[in-house]
Amino acid sequence: MSRKALLMEMFQAMHEALGPSGWWPAETSFEVCLGALLTQNTNWSNVEKAIQGLKEKDLLHPQPLLSLPDEILAELIRPVGYFRVKADRVKSFLSFLQVEVGFDLDLFMDYPMVTLRDKLLSVRGIGPETADSMLLYAFHRPSFVVDAYTARILQRHLLIAEDTDYHEMRSFFMDVLSEDVKLYNEYHALLVRVGKHWCKKKKGLCQTCPLGPLLERTI
């Protein structure tokens, strides 16, 4: 079976088992970007607390956030963990927004995908996964997102080597799948959801994993 056929069957199996994901859970593209920064190596439920707190204070906008002193911003996002580091990263991103588009995120819609990706990656605190999350879920570009669950699932099923880096994994999907924003959106979301329930770090437990029967490999 071709890699494309395999990846499409994996998608279908996950989608049939779990249904649509409805990602990214946010009201604005800015909220998506902020969430992408705050959820780095952090449980999403912690991020929800912080976002909700900001929302109640009507601070979920770039300009007001940039005006906040660093310590205040850090306290506001305390629930996400790494709050001092992340406050700094949020500020870096906000400064980038000011300089690049004058806080008007709609202007990014005119940027070529690769151009925008490179600019995002140049911001302190935005690595490949965060950049691709913003591209896909905030700016609706066909940029496949790879995360720890993606790597774990591919590795457990022996589809890639253990030392495969981010770019290689991204290409593993993008080289064969069509540039389809809706497909990439749902595919990544499903991988995360499957990973959370069936592909834990220490134990495999894949007895009932939707991918188990398809890949005939359960570790």
Residues that bind DNA (CB under 7 A): 23-25, 35-36, 39-46, 49, 78-86, 123-131, 133, 137, 147-149, 166, 192, 196, 200-202
- 61/84 with CB nearer DNA: 84
- 163/216 with CB nearer DNA: 163
- 5/43 with CB nearer DNA: 43
**Would you say 146 and 128 are in contact if contact means Cβ atoms under 8 Å apart?**
yes
CA distance linking residue 153 with residue 12, whole number of Å: 16
Residue 153 neighbours by CB distance under 10 Å = 23
Shortest spacing between CB 87 and DNA, in angstroms: 7
Shortest spacing between CB 135 and DNA, in angstroms: 11
**Would you say 180 and 7 are in contact if contact means Cβ atoms under 8 Å apart?**
no
Shortest spacing between CB 5 and DNA, in angstroms: 27
Residue 170, SS3 per DSSP: helix
- 180/213 with CB nearer DNA: 180
For residue 86, give the nearest of 15, 138, 141, 34 by alpha carbon: 34
Cis before 24 (ω within 30): yes
Phi-psi region of 177 (alpha: psi -120 to 50; beta: other; left: phi over 0): beta
Shortest spacing between CB 39 and DNA, in angstroms: 4
Shortest spacing between CB 101 and DNA, in angstroms: 20
- 43/115 with CB nearer DNA: 43
